[in-house]
Each structure stands twice: as structure tokens, then as C-alpha cells.
Structure 1
């Protein structure tokens, strides 16, 4: 890794990631990931048991772009938006140009009529790396939801 990854850099990365989703700029969401990446949403129980499949699973930036295209053009779901609150990251040791990071999150969902509900809590388990330009990107983002019950209206990325 060319430089050490700091708390400030990770906080900015997480804040911009959340803002991108919360502001419905989903076409920009895949840009937070390396081309060869993993994005998965699962629950804590399945994660503990080592189950590889997730509620959402994408193993490339292209798959993330396809997911956004499907959300915009093919999927039918009730209009909604999110508001993310993320904690300070807990940074692990760097290994082979990547650093492990865990960050707790809380997401509220705002429905078309304005009704707001607690939607998801959990943690992001990430592998973060610098791309060729030195920008921080997610090599992996595993979204581990605390609840084993996932809302069937999970359309927007967490």
C-alpha cells in the first residue's frame, strides 16, 4: 500500500458512500468499488455460519452497475429513500495492499408518504484498497444485518 489509510479517509469514504445512496445518486454507487470486488448483504446468523450466499450478491463492479440499471429500468417497488448513520471505523492490520475495516450502521427508510421506519442495523465488514490513482475503494463490502428478518422491500443498496 502506497500510504497508510487513516480514520479521516475512511470516515470520508463512508460518509460519501452513504450520501450517494441517501441522495439517490445510485448510478455513482458502483464507483466506490474496485472493478474486481465483492458486495454482499447477509444477516448475522448466516455470516456466523459461514454461508456464502447473500440476499444481494455481486462479485464485480459490472454486476453493481447492472443492479442499478435494473432498479431504474426493470424492478417495480414503492418509492423510498434511506438515511444512513455510520459509526467510526475500526481499522485492522493491512494485508497485501488491503486493510480490514468494520463500521456499524443504522439505516432508516423514508417511504413516499413520509413515513419513517428503522430499516436496518448492522455492520459493514470491508476490505479497502487504493486503486491505481490512489483513491480508496471497497475491494469487499459485506453488509451484515443484525436481524435475521430482512424486509422484502430491500431494493436500494445498503
Structure 2
């Protein structure tokens, strides 16, 4: 029996929303090993600098610009007791909304969504707001993330603001 990969035309906005809500829950529950499995092997995860969100990450500075291997290494580091910024880890609560499918090709979907991440750590409360852009790929096992970009709407990070957790 042959399985076929679903085409992007068959994916609904509700399915995309459910996928993004699931991703947010994995991050809030600190289930990072499961979270990284949502990504393709050729993925890119980016949080650009707040002052140049549309700059090319190959020629400019980014807060985070990881391929799959670096993303896996980031997770390993964040879960170690030596990672003082995240040990014990932050408590986060994510709200994802305004999910839109912007474009479809035969093999992928371009998706945007708004986010608000609230973070509590060591008595400090921070909020991070912004916009996600995704390239999602439908596979037989479900949707996968080929590209995720989290653009913060902040014009700067507070002096003690940290993004050691994953947006």
C-alpha cells in the first residue's frame, strides 16, 4: 500500500490553527524534544533583530537564526542545569491568533499569525508580542515546519529582557 503526502490545497485554516496551538502548548509545557520534531530536517528558525526584521539573516545580525542541528543543540543547552537563564525554566503562556493562510503551492503553505508570549521567571514578568510567518509542509504524518520566523513588534528589548526561551 502506498501512502501519499497530502497536498497543501487540502489543508484547512482550522487544521493550521490546531497545529499552531499544539506547537504553542508543547513550548508552554517545556516539551522541547517533541516541539523540534514538528520541524523538517531542512528547517530554519529565525528571530530577527528588532530594528531590522526584514534584513537578510545571511548578511545581518539576528537574535536567533538556527537550522535543525543548531535548534537541537539549543534545546539540549536550555535543559541543562548550567543554563542559568532557564534553570529552573521560565513559565510561559502563549496566545496565537489571527492565523491566515497567505499562499499555497503544491507542496507548502505560507502562513502568518500573531503571538503574545507572557514569561514569568524569578519574580519578573515580561511579555513579547509579534508576528509569526511559517512555511508549512503537509506530510503523511501531519504538518511540518520548514521555516518559522518570529518577528517581535518591540522596537527594543528591555535591558533585562531575555529570549533564552523559545518564541
TM-score range, shorter chain: 0.7 to 0.9
Name structure 1 gaps, 5 residues minimum: none
TM-score by length of 1: 0.86
Partner residue in 1 for 2:73: 66
Moved over 4 A (4+): none
Partner residue in 1 for 2:155: 148
Partner residue in 1 for 2:6: 2
Contact in 2 for aligned 1:11/1:88 (Cα 8 Å): no
Partner residue in 1 for 2:131: 123
Per the TM alignment, residue 44 of structure 1 is displaced from its structure 2 partner at its CA by 5.2
Equivalent-residue separation in structure 2 for 1:99 and 1:154 (angstroms): 27
Contact in 2 for aligned 1:122/1:144 (Cα 8 Å): yes
Equivalent-residue separation in structure 1 for 2:67 and 2:94 (angstroms): 23
SS at match of 1:88: strand
User: What is the RMSD computed on CA atoms of the aligned residues?
Assistant: 1.9
**Counterpart pick for 1:95 among 105, 109, 118:** 105
Per the TM alignment, residue 121 of structure 1 is displaced from its structure 2 partner at its CA by 0.5
Name structure 2 gaps, 5 residues minimum: none
**Counterpart pick for 2:143 among 119, 122, 136:** 136
Equivalent-residue separation in structure 2 for 1:146 and 1:43 (angstroms): 10
The aligned runs of 1:14-93 (5 Å cut-off) are: 14-43=20-49, 45-48=51-54, 50-52=55-57, 53-60=61-68, 62-73=69-80, 74-77=82-85, 79=88, 80-93=90-103
Deviations 1:82-136 (A, max 9, x none): 10001131112212511100000011111244x533x2101001101023x2410
Contact in 2 for aligned 1:43/1:147 (Cα 8 Å): no
